[in-house]
Amino acid sequence: MSDLNQEIKRRRTFAIVSHPDAGKTTLTEKLLLFGGAIHVAGAVKSNKIKKTATSDWMEIEKQRGISVATSVMAFDYSDHKINILDTPGHQDFAEDTFRTLTAVDSVIIVIDTAKGVEAQTRKLMEVCRMRKTPVIVFINKMDRDGKDPFDLLDEIEEELKINVRPLSWPIDMGQRFKGVYNIFEEKLDLYTPSKQLVTESIAFKDIYNPELENHIGAPLAKKLREDIELIEGVYPEFDVNTYLQGDIAPVFFGSALNNFGVKELLDCFIQIAPSPRPVQAMERVVVPEEENFTGFIFKIHANMDPNHRSCIAFVKICSGRFERNANYKHVRYNKMMRFSSPTAFMAQKKETVDEAFAGDIIGLPDTGNFKIGDTLTAGEELHFKGLPSFSPEMFKYIENADPMKAKQLNKGIEQLMDEGVAQLFTNQFNGRKIIGTVGQLQFEVIQYRLLHEYGAQCKWDPISLYKACWIESDNAAMLENFKKRKSQYMALDKEGRDVYLADSSYVLTMAQQDFPDIKFHFTSEF
């Protein structure tokens, strides 16, 4: 097996997704702890007063305690190279998460034992199902009282429409939580509440061994045996291929905050999770083991370092080996480019890398050359697909609040829009700029970042719109007529495409009836 193949085989690239507050960021941090990437939980930016999690590094995230930008973290663990993408849990940033899911080979879903499956998680699961992405479920917060584990499994099957198979099983919960029995490795993991220590585990092949009573007491030993019998009776035996095809989700229980059940999750994950998988481009299927480098940009982030006004484009490598200073083709520009300082990430600590392999995520400094969805290759004409922008549902006029800073405002808007935070439409009737987003919180984030990163002040003016749709037609006369009739509601997106801003669902339905030859699209990818 060549070096290239070996490197690719040891890669595991995955995203952690959940509803806000289910404990996703805590889990990410504990995984980094095992990888030796950080040494004390919460210690990444520790000042004495307030410790914030490693992956939440934008100012607004610290104030709100939520993740709004996808962070990438890489570390080595027992001879595997792990790439974690921590996604925003907040639903106003769902679009960022959908795009992130295009760059991973598998997903871990975190569910809060007390709350069960929440709406946001259902949506994300739909994306995983569409792409046949393998999923592992981690049921968190077992040190608090929550739903019955069997009820939870039923709920996951029903709500997420996926079959499950527990690979670990909790012994009681809340104050009485004793630990879990690890079915996958046949061992008993006993729980000691501590945020810094890793728990002791005892090999335990036979749960009928009377030794069990000594560890957890007779009543719990009896219940555990009954539960395991029920599991073996009800759920099919765990089969790795069924998991890899996205048809069954293994389930683990634990408490990320107390570092419990996390190592078991990680150990099983590196054994069963897929190494990088083939990616479908428009022209052909790209296989990771190919010699030649290919990759696509799934995210652009402005100002990872506030001292330098630079953007970073996140590239998912789909095949081959990426080398620093080599010439690669930017397919949309049809020109060759060289990258002298590609970076790998450990939250916002960046280091320059000389090479990276299929499955890795690297950052390229961007001075405005990249857009989300751009393809880079060693020379081949390739287009990776599947990075849509969704039709926004909230709209506001954006106005400059400080005439002296018009230039800063325009630059800020342009960079933030390239990042895919929101979408910009220019009204063709009055030339005003309209920002469209999927959620209210994005307006606050834009205003905050314009002020703090670009020194520009904006104010929002209300505008009442229902939906933005991209329109196209083979019938030129009808298109002209439509644009004339709707001239006050026509805008251009930042690619210069026609967008119709419908002011109510009734008006939109009527327009679709009156102009049968016009196609109305609700995502930008058509």
Helices and strands in the chain: count of H runs, count of E runs: 14, 33
Residue-level pLDDT at 215 = 72
Residues 220 and 319 in one domain: no
Cα torsion angle, 442, 446, 452, 458, sign:
negative
- Structure-model confidence comparison of residues 68 and 71, the more confident one: 71
Residue-level pLDDT at 59 = 55
Taking residues 367-394, report their average pLDDT. 79
Residue 256 makes CB contacts below 8 A (sequence gap 6+) with 23, 26, 27, 30, 110, 138, 140, 141, 262
- In-domain check, residue 7: no
Residues 344 and 314 in one domain: yes
Strand 11-18 versus strand 80-86 pairing type? parallel
Taking residues 199-206, report their average pLDDT. 62
* H or E element in which residue 392 lies: none
pLDDT beyond 70 at 447: yes
CA distance 90 to 13: 22
pLDDT tens digits, residue range 223-233?
Answer: 888 888 888 88
Residue-level pLDDT at 212 = 73
Residues 484-518 as b or e (16 or more Cβ within 10 Å = b) = eebeebbbebeeeebbbbbbeeeebeebeeebeeb
* Domain CATH code at residue 203: 3.40.50.300
Residue 481 CB-density burial (10 A; 0-12 exposed, 13-18 middle, 19+ buried): middle
Least confident of 344-353, 430-439, 491-500, 513-522: 344-353
Looking at 222, 245, 272, the residue that finishes a domain is 272
Residue-level pLDDT at 42 = 47
Q: CA nearest 424: which of 523, 505, 495?
A: 495
pLDDT tens digits, residue range 85-135?
Answer: 877 655 555 566 777 788 889 999 999 888 888 877 887 787 788 778 899
Residues 212 and 298 in one domain: no
Residue-level pLDDT at 94 = 58
pLDDT beyond 70 at 295: yes
pLDDT beyond 50 at 329: yes
Mean pLDDT of the chain: 81
Residues 99 and 44 in one domain: yes
Least confident of 49-58, 81-90, 289-298, 320-329: 49-58
Residue 85 makes CB contacts below 8 A (sequence gap 6+) with 13, 14, 15, 16, 70, 71, 72, 100, 103, 104, 361
Residues 156 and 218 in one domain: yes
Least confident of 160-164, 175-179, 233-237, 349-353: 349-353
Tokens of 404: 């002296």
pLDDT beyond 60 at 196: no
Residue 208 CB-density burial (10 A; 0-12 exposed, 13-18 middle, 19+ buried): exposed
Farthest CA pair distance, the chain: 84
Residues 101 and 167 in one domain: yes
Residues 220 and 101 in one domain: yes
Taking residues 325-334, report their average pLDDT. 90
Residue-level pLDDT at 480 = 92
Residue-level pLDDT at 48 = 32
Residues 511 and 404 in one domain: yes
Residues 319 and 410 in one domain: no
Percent of the chain with pLDDT over 90: 21
Taking residues 11-25, report their average pLDDT. 81
Least confident of 150-164, 285-299, 300-314, 414-428: 300-314
Q: Are 173 and 287 in contact (CB under 8 A)?
A: no
pLDDT beyond 70 at 46: no
- In-domain check, residue 382: no
- In-domain check, residue 383: no
Looking at 229, 252, 272, the residue that finishes a domain is 272
Q: CA nearest 416: which of 461, 374, 448, 384?
A: 448
Residues 324 and 464 in one domain: no
Q: Are 309 and 297 in contact (CB under 8 A)?
A: no
Residues 352 and 443 in one domain: no
pLDDT beyond 80 at 193: no
- In-domain check, residue 389: no
Cα torsion angle, 123, 127, 132, 133, sign:
negative
Strand 285-286 versus strand 294-302 pairing type? unpaired
Percent of the chain with pLDDT over 70: 83
* Domain CATH code at residue 469: 3.30.70.3280
* H or E element in which residue 416 lies: helix 406-418
Residue 476 makes CB contacts below 8 A (sequence gap 6+) with none
Cα torsion angle, 448, 84, 94, 316, sign:
positive
Taking residues 483-501, report their average pLDDT. 90
Looking at 272, 304, 338, the residue that finishes a domain is 272
pLDDT beyond 70 at 8: yes
CA distance 489 to 105: 41
Question: What is the extent of the structural domain holding 452?
Answer: 394-521
Residue-level pLDDT at 485 = 92
* Packing angle of the helix pair 119-131, 149-160 (nearest 10 deg): 60
Residue-level pLDDT at 482 = 94
pTM of the shown model: 0.75
Q: Are 426 and 492 in contact (CB under 8 A)?
A: yes
Residue-level pLDDT at 461 = 92
Tally of domains in the chain: 3
Q: CA nearest 399: which of 446, 466, 469, 453?
A: 446
Q: What is the pLDDT confidence band of residue 205, given thresholds at 50, 70 and 90?
A: low
Residues 206 and 121 in one domain: yes
